[in-house]
Chain A
C-alpha cells in the first residue's frame, strides 16, 4: 500500500506537472528551433512573442466571456486561441517585413540578427505591457479538474490523492495534436519539404527553385501558431505575467540547445528533459520517501535538492553540461 501511495505521489507531484510543463517547453522550443533552422539566428524575442499571442487570446477570452459565449467545461481561451494566432502571425509577418528582411537580404552575421531580435523584444515587451499591463492575469475558466484528489482517494482507497487539472490534460492533448500536425506538414507537404531543404542547405535549395521568401513566410506563420499555443497553455496551467514569459526564454533556449538547435525532434526531447530535471530537482521528496523508507530512516528535512527559486539554475546547468560535452545537442543539431 505504501509503495502504491509513493507511486501516486510521484505521479501527482512530478510526473503530471512534468509532462504538462515539458509539453509547453517543447512547443516553445520548437518555435525557437524552427527560426534557428530557417532564419539562422537565436530569437531573443520568442518569450515576448508568446506573451503577445497569449495577451491577444486573453483579450478575446474576456470579450467572449462578456458576451456569454462559452464552451464549458473547456476553457473559453481555446475558442479565443485562433484569434490570438492570427494576430501574432500578422505581428510576426509585419516584423519580418519591417525589420528582419533587410538583414536577410544583406546576409548579416547571425549575431547581428540576435541583437536585432533584442530590439524587437523590447518593442513587443513594451507593447504587451502597454496594452494589458505588467501584472498577473488569470483567464482560465470552465471545469478546473478532470480528476479530483478527493475522488481519486475514494475510488482507490489510497491515502494519497491524484489530481489532474483540466489545463494539464488540455496541454498534453493539444501538444500531441500540434506536434503531429507539424511533423505531417514538414514531412509530407511540398512546403514542408522545401522548408527542410532550405534548412539543410540554403544554396542547394535556392538552386532547385525554392522561393526563400515563401519558406520564411511559412516559418513565421508556424512560429506564430506554436508560440501562441505554448503561451496560452502555459498561462492556463499557471498564470499570465509578461515578465514570467520573458524569463521562459532561458528554459526554452535550454530545451532547444539540449535537443540540438535546428532539430524539431530534439526540441521536443529537450523540452521534456529540461522540464523533468527542473521538477525532480526542485521537488520536496520527503512525502515519497516517507512512504518508501522505514521510519528510522525518514528524512528530517524536506529532501529537496534545490529550492524552487533556483529552477533556472537547473536549465542553466543542463545547458552548460550539454554545451561542454555535446555541443550539437542530444539529437544532431546544426552549428552556423
Chain B
C-alpha cells in the first residue's frame, strides 16, 4: 500500500466533532459530554454495520431497530440471574413448546422441498402447519401463564444465564446474525424495495414480541438492574482510595464517580469501535471487498463473472446485522435496563440511516463521523431549538399559541433530521467523507 496522504478535510471534520463534544463539556457539563460521546460511539458502530450492508453491497435494510432490540434482549438473557421458581413452574414446558414450534416450521420446509408440487403437497403442508400450530399453542399457553404467574411484580420471566455481561455483546451479535439469516434467506434476491419492506416488518414484529412476551423479558414492565461491567457509583463513593484520588484532582466524589464510570464505558466502546473499524477496513481492501463493490455497481456483470450474488449478499447482510446487534447489546449494557417500549423506528432505524448517508456511504470513516455528528445534533437540536424558539416567541403575548410553540419544540428534531438528510442527498449525495 502506498503511503497515506493525510486528508486535511477529514481531519478537520473529526476535529469539529471533537470540539463540539468538548464545548458541550465546558458549556453544559462533562457528564452530558461523556453521555454524548458514549452514545456517539455506539451510534458509530451501528452505522458501520449499516454501511457494510448499504455502502459495500447496496442492500437497503430498514429493520435496524429490530436488530438493536435483539441485541438488547441478548443482554438480559446473558446477564440476568435465572428465576428458579419460574423455571420450575414452566421452564421445561416452554422449551418443549419452542422446540415444537421450530420443528413445525422446519418440518414444513422439509415437506415443501421433498414432496412433489401439487395438490397433495399443499394439503399435507396445510395439515402439518395447522396441526403443529395448535400443538405449539397447547404447550405454549399454559407454560407462559405459569411462568408469568411467578411473582409478576418483580420477575414473572425466566431470567437469564447469570453470565458476565460482556459476553452479551458477542451473543447479541450472534442473535442478530441469526435473525438476519432468516430475513436474508427469504427476502434477498428480490427487488431492493421488497427487502426494505420485509425488514421494516420484521423489526416491528421483533419489538412486538419483546413488548408482549412477558415470560421472555417482562415485556413493557421492563427488566431493570442488569449487572454492569463497571463498579456502581455509590460503591466508588464509599471507597476511601477513590475519594482521595478524586479530591487530589479537585473533584467532589459524586461527580468523580459518575465521570469515572462513563469514561470506563467510553474506553470499552472505543476498543470495540476500533476493532470493528480495523476489520471493516481490512475487509473493504481485500479481494472480498472489491468483489462486493463490483456486485453493488453491476450485479449482472458480476453474476456473469461467476459470482454468487445472492450468497454474497446474504453474507454481508449477516455480518452487518451482527455488528448492529452487538451495538444494541452495548447500548442496553450502558443503560443497565431493557425497555422494549422505547424502541421506535424513527430513532433506531431511520436515524442510523441519516448517519450513514450524511457521513458518506461506502466509507467507514464517513460512517463513524456521521454516527458522532448526527448523534450530537439529535441530542443538541432540542436545547438549541428551544433557545431559538424562546427568542422567536419572545415578542408574542403569553397565550395558547406561545405555549404550544414552546411545548412542540421537542418535535423539531425529526424535522431537522429530515432536512439534513434531504440537503445532503441533494447537494452532497456521496456524504461528508465520500467513498474513495
Contact = CB atoms under 8 A, between A and B. Distances in A.
Interface of A: 41-42, 44, 99, 102, 110-112, 114-116, 118-127, 129-131, 133-134, 243, 246-247, 249-250, 253-254, 257, 301, 305, 307, 309-310, 312-313, 315-316, 319-320, 323-324, 327, 335-336
Contact of A316 (B201, B211, B345, B411): B201
A191 B52 CA distance: 44
B205 interface: yes
Most buried by B among A120, A122, A127, A312: A122
A247 B346 contact: no
Contact of B198 (A44, A129, A305, A320): A320
Contacts of A111: 58, 60, 192-193, 196
A119 B198 contact: no
A102 B208 CA distance: 38
Given A111-B192, A118-B350, A102 B186 contact: no
Q: Is the interface of B mostly helix, strand, loop or mixed?
A: helix
Given A116-B422, A126-B414, A130-B411, A110 B186 contact: no
A285 to B, nearest CB: 13
B212 interface: yes
B200 interface: yes
B425 A336 contact: no
Query: Which 7 A-B residue pairs are closest in the complex by CB-CB distance?
Result: A122-B418, A126-B415, A126-B414, A123-B418, A316-B201, A129-B411, A119-B421
Contact of A119 (B141, B201, B412, B422): B422
B419 interface: yes
Nearest to A124: B418
A42 B353 contact: no
B425 A126 contact: no
A217 B413 CA distance: 30
Contacts of B191: 335-336
Contact of A310 (B62, B197, B208, B345): B208
A323 B414 contact: no
Given A133-B408, A319-B197, A323-B187, A122 B208 contact: no
Contacts of A123: 414-415, 418-419, 422
Given A42-B196, A99-B422, A134 B205 contact: no
Contacts of B421: 115, 118-119, 122
A247 B204 contact: yes
Given A316-B205, A323-B194, A126 B357 contact: no
B412 A310 contact: no
Interface residues of B, number: 47
Contacts of B60: 111, 114-115
7 contacts: A119-B422, A121-B350, A123-B415, A123-B418, A126-B416, A126-B418, A250-B204
A151 B1 CA distance: 84
B415 A320 contact: no
B202 interface: yes
Contacts of A131: 408
Nearest to B191: A335
B219 to A, nearest CB: 10
Contacts of A110: 192-193
Given A122-B421, A127-B415, A133-B408, A115 B357 contact: yes
A230 B127 CA distance: 38
A336 B412 CA distance: 35
B430 to A, nearest CB: 12
A116 B197 contact: no
A124 B418 CA distance: 9
Given A126-B415, A313-B205, A315-B201, A115 B408 contact: no
Contacts of B417: 122, 126
Contact of B196 (A114, A120, A246, A335): A114
B208 A312 contact: yes
B5 interface: no
B370 to A, nearest CB: 14
Contacts of B204: 247, 250, 312, 316
B426 interface: yes
A297 B416 CA distance: 59
B279 interface: no
Nearest to A118: B350
Contacts of B62: 44, 118
Contact of B194 (A99, A257, A310): A257
A118 B205 contact: no
Contacts of B205: 310, 312-313, 316
Given A115-B425, A312-B204, A323-B190, 12 more contacts: A42-B193, A110-B192, A115-B353, A121-B350, A123-B418, A123-B419, A126-B411, A130-B412, A133-B411, A254-B201, A319-B201, A323-B187
